[in-house]
Structure 1
Amino acid sequence: MTVRKIIHVDMDAFYASVEQRDFPEYRGKPIVVGGSPEGRGGVVATASYEARKYGIRSAMPSKRAQQLCADLIFVRPRFAAYKEVSQQVRDIFRRYTDLIEPLSLDEAYLDVTEDKRHIGSAIAIAREIKQAIRDELQLTASAGVSVNKFVAKIASDMQKPDGLTFIAPEQVEGFMEKLPVEKFFGVGKVTAEKMKRMGLHTGADLKKLSENNLVQLFGKTGHFYYNIVRGIDRREVQPHRETKSLGAEDTFAYDLTTVEEMNTELDKIALTVAGRLEKYQLKGRTVTLKIKYSDFRQITRNQSFFHPIGDLATIAATAKQLLLKTDPVDVKIRLLGITLSNFGDEAPPPPSQQLSLF
């Protein structure tokens, strides 16, 4: 079997770096791109590395970010500018391969097993791509190089910013054994805590369990854990990867008990969803509201549109209308989520109905 050569390229603090490049007054200063902390407050989309030193990160409420850094500069997103730069980055990728799987505006997988320039070395290609991004766009990117997508993606995050990490084929299995469980695909905070309570802290710990054990404990994802800790990831780079849905949710520190509190949180979640839709250049026709109550009972409600939508106002208003239909009085809510799905063109018109003659 041919050993694949996969590169994962991830732009460094993309939105913030574009702003610092285009506006010299932001250079060397802590900035965040996202919603303003004024009023109900927005959410951080991207933080510059100067801001990250204060513990500021993506998806953090803007008010909290301001508390962490009094000199923080808030910048409104310019998605048209980010899309243009993203296209320029992809033009650089296409000099080497057509097997490009964009994950968002600022990251992508490249399969360079057979590259257009017959360079042969994935490490050399990654270096050339990074240098072209620096020389032509005055931005930096980090890259991970390995034999599969999973390891390449993790590797790209190891030496940020402006990093390049190579995990050789013979190093992959040892690398996976040392990897903390929270770095594994599909492992969020809750699952990571569950694993650690079971004494599972690293890939080596997961490797001790049989495939059946992993599936019993973690569902279908258990199959993936079993293979990846052995360095096996057969997923191909998909140039036309289709996104099925996109959303965001939040579990609250205290239960929400009033409609006003719920609407405030829905506004924040809708802002995150609208930003992600813009980032992935998507619009959807179905809005789904997810509600989890204090007793862990969970329900969903959805509404579909004829035309694709993606704007903040429509997403927020629809979520609030769906909430009202659940009769949110005398209830305690611990989680809210908004998801958009049914991407693509307009819905087909309903079949025409012919009037009966009788």
Structure 2
Amino acid sequence: MPVARPETSDSRVIAHVDMDCFYVQVEQRQQPNLRGQPTAVVQYNSWKGGGLIAVSYEARKFGVKRNIPWFSSSMRGDEAKQVCPQIQLVQVPVARGKADLSIYRDAGSEVVSILARKGRCERASIDEVYLDLTDAAQTMLAENPPESLEVTNEEVLKSHVLGLSLDAGDVKEKVREWLHRSDADQRDKLLACGAHIVAKLRLQVLKETEFSCSAGIAHNKMLAKLASGMNKPAQQIVVPFSSVMGLLQPLPIKKMKQLGGKLGTSLQIDLGANTVGDLLQFSEAKLQDHYGLNTGTWLWNIARGINGDEVEGRLLPKSHGSGKTFPGPRALKTIASVSIFS
């Protein structure tokens, strides 16, 4: 169950860096002729063309998806070819009869080594990293604050600032004004420094590895992760403290990390809470009565954007998956047949 941790500080600067279609990018670096082409990486099991585990943005435009909404498993290569006849299918490498993820894991390590130059890194998976930039942001704010910069990197001006009004005028100029406000509070100034730092890191990753990535920049891990997937590919979004409730209130419960399973279903059925904002109507005591002291407090916290999880110094991915399916005539029907593959 989730663990409730209070914020240690509301002035932390945390980034969640998420690689864009990473498995596809790795394959495209090995085979440059695939760049710009509709491409998908498929499982080593070739049944019906193999299950899709990564789909390029070019292929997505034709309707190729990893998951089929009306079916529980991923779209397979043969189905992808029906939707997009020109798609290039690349199979995951195989070693000793199993998927070999070494090339993707090693490529992820290249990215982590660059990000770690600016802060403490937590490698959450092969293609996503949390980065604590608090110290780097505080140093920049003290020595070279954004409002004193004579030249602003173009990449940081492409940032999406959540809650920033863009109804009229030059978008980049509005972002520049937000980043360089001398009258901003300390929290926003630190986030502005974080935006500058992350933009440079993303450009450095692209230069050294040829991989693009997207990022969310916020005051905690939960908010940073939510933001990183909002504007992909090759984008970054900043979540000021004043915009946290606007982000969370309309968010479907099931979109929150740790609420996609039984706990989220219980919130929907038992409490009628379908969005994160719906949780605001319940007191902390009420949530504790339903889900226990710890989980109740955690739910009360996340509805308000409170999350004290620290970025752990970990350069290896916490987990990665590898599976094997045996469809049709290859289905495993006896204990003896299962033991062969155990």
TM-score (norm 2): 0.66
| Equivalent of residue 114 in structure 1, options 135, 157, 180 | 135
SS at match of 1:96: coil
Q: 1:264 to 1:49 in 2, by over 3 A?
A: farther
What is the alpha-carbon root mean square deviation over aligned residues? 3.6
Q: Counterpart of 1:57 in structure 2: which amino acid?
A: R
Q: 1:261 to 1:68 in 2, by over 3 A?
A: same
| Equivalent of residue 112 in structure 2, options 69, 83, 90 | 90
| Deviation at residue 173 of structure 1 after TM alignment | 3.2
Tell me which residue corresponds to 2:103: 81
| Equivalent of residue 128 in structure 1, options 197, 200, 205 | 200
Tell me the percent identity. Answer: 32
Q: 1:210 to 1:116 in 2, by over 3 A?
A: closer
String of CA shifts for 1:298-339, please: whole Å, max 9, x gaps: xxx9xxxxxxxxxxx999812xxxxxxxxxxxxxxxxxxxxx
Tell me which residue corresponds to 1:165: 237
Higher strand share: 1
Q: Counterpart of 1:102 in structure 2: which amino acid?
A: R
Q: Does 1:211 align with 2:220?
A: no
CA contact (8 A) 1:8 1:144 kept: yes
Q: 1:127 to 1:260 in 2, by over 3 A?
A: closer
Q: 1:64 to 1:216 in 2, by over 3 A?
A: farther
Q: Does 1:155 align with 2:189?
A: no
Tell me which residue corresponds to 1:185: 257
String of CA shifts for 1:8-36, please: whole Å, max 9, x gaps: 10110011012223323212222111226
Q: In 1, distance between residues paired with 2:211 and 2:329?
A: 40
Q: Counterpart of 1:128 in structure 2: which amino acid?
A: K
String of CA shifts for 1:80-117, please: whole Å, max 9, x gaps: 332332222112112211x1100112110000110299
Q: 1:204 to 1:109 in 2, by over 3 A?
A: same
| Equivalent of residue 56 in structure 1, options 51, 65, 79 | 65
Q: Counterpart of 2:195 in structure 1: which amino acid?
A: I
SS at match of 1:238: coil
Q: In 1, distance between residues paired with 2:128 and 2:213?
A: 9
* Count of matched residue pairs: 264
Instruction: List gaps (5 residues or longer) in structure 1.
Output: 250-258, 267-300, 302-312, 319-358
Higher helix share: 2
Q: In 2, distance between residues paired with 1:211 and 1:241?
A: 36
CA contact (8 A) 1:96 1:117 kept: no
| Deviation at residue 217 of structure 1 after TM alignment | 4.8
Instruction: List gaps (5 residues or longer) in structure 2.
Output: 1-8, 68-72, 94-100, 142-192
Q: In 1, distance between residues paired with 2:320 and 2:105?
A: 18
TM-score (norm 1): 0.63
Deviates more, 1:143-152 or 1:172-181: 172-181
| Deviation at residue 168 of structure 1 after TM alignment | 0.9
| Deviation at residue 5 of structure 1 after TM alignment | 0.5
| Deviation at residue 133 of structure 1 after TM alignment | 1.5
